[in-house]
Structure 1
Amino acid sequence: MALSLAQRHRLRVLAELEAAATSPMTSMAGATAYELQLAQLIQDRLRLKNIQGNEAKAKLKVQLLPTYEPYVQGVLAGGNGAQDEVLTTLMVWAIDAGAFPDALKIASYVLKHNLIMPDRFARTTGCLIAEEVAEAALKAQKAGGEFDLQTLFETEQLTREQDMPDEARAKLHLAIGRALATQVPDEVVSAEQLETLKAARDNLSRAIELHTSCGGKKDLERVDRLLKKHAGPAS
């Protein structure tokens, strides 16, 4: 049952007050708002478990996420960094649902306070954020679509100092490099486009440096070819 506006407001306020009252590095367990949302989360995870397809799961997450918005808003507004399984799980769900601005808002808080992912997530928090966003971008690019470049930039900035395998970081640089490169047609006409190509080259080179088999060599060849062809005349 959907919450009324009044109920959503009460939940947000309660979550903010309880998050503010919970010390950093302790758990939100026992707080009323947290326990209510955790119980809802367990029910929704069971619903997701009964669905086999990832695409269908993502569609259900799109429907489920608004239910948790008041809680998330409250914790982000008042939280001091208490461990919160609800919040970290919803961050992943937001990525799966394609709600990247919401996911990165949570990610900023999670990384700032060094929140730990639940045991069922095998990767560290920074690695998970970088890799999941990168893989979503690479999937869209492979299908001939686009992916929001600002989301990629923000993800890279958020996770720059986070420890992760080189292969995971390479995926993010590859996605950024491809996103930049596709903004420039074969007939480059402006200095701004050349700067975009140079930024694409930096990211593609970094991806290959981190992981030789990342799949960016053909992208880099195109970028180098365009730079060689147009750098002189455009200058």
Structure 2
Amino acid sequence: MFEQVKALVFDVFGTVVDWREGVAREAGPFLARIGRNDIDAHGFADAWRARYQPAMEEIRSGRRGFTRLDLLHRENLEQVLRAHDIDPAGVGEAALDELNRAWHRLDPWPEAVAGLTRLKRRFIIAPLSNGNIALMTNMAKRAGIPWDAILGAEVAQAYKPDPQAYLRTAEVLGIRPAELCLVAAHNGDLKAARAAGLATAFVPRRTEHGPGQSSDLEPSEAWDVVARDFQDLAHRLGV
């Protein structure tokens, strides 16, 4: 299968970077500054992330035109604040914008950059993320993520798992879907990619949702490759 694969594209939030710890790291001081030490920073991160899929579903369903993730994150942040009886207007635009950019400053999993650097020797590597271009670029610059290109929802004008998110990415790269492989820690993402004709690689991130995570601990199907992490993936792909 992998003899024809020319490019690897990666889910980012959860697969390449640890969104929960990164958001909680910045939410904690923010909550302290506004006098809400009673709110758990990790719980706040979880609540913010819980609004991610519903916001994108408004776009996938056609009820809303394509809207970049930075704006969706900002709208979701204001909703989470209101759910905690915090008036966003009282926080201030600058503080809200700064916290919203926490998603631009997420840290990679420990082996991710080294593994991606190895994989880059043989394959084109790029994000296939629901994150927008500015978010992905800022994240990569800060963390040293060695992408060959920044691809994803804003380029495809479609949010995963819409088939167009996968198919337009292959089209942009000038390759057939079968020559493109999605690497992800989420079985649902891989299922949609396989249905669109892509190759698939599963790399579990068993603490993405914290120590009590119960989903995506193991592969749910016989994906083309299953690896422990990105270094193991590089080894399995002969890089």
Normalising by the smaller structure, the TM-score range is: under 0.3
* Larger of the two Rg values belongs to structure: 1
Considering fraction of residues, name the structure with more strand. 2
Q: When the two structures are superposed, what TM-score results if normalisation uses the length of structure 2?
A: 0.26
Give the structure with the larger helix fraction. 1
Where relative contact order (Cα < 8 A, 6+ residues apart) is larger, the structure is 2
TM-score, scaled to structure 1: 0.26
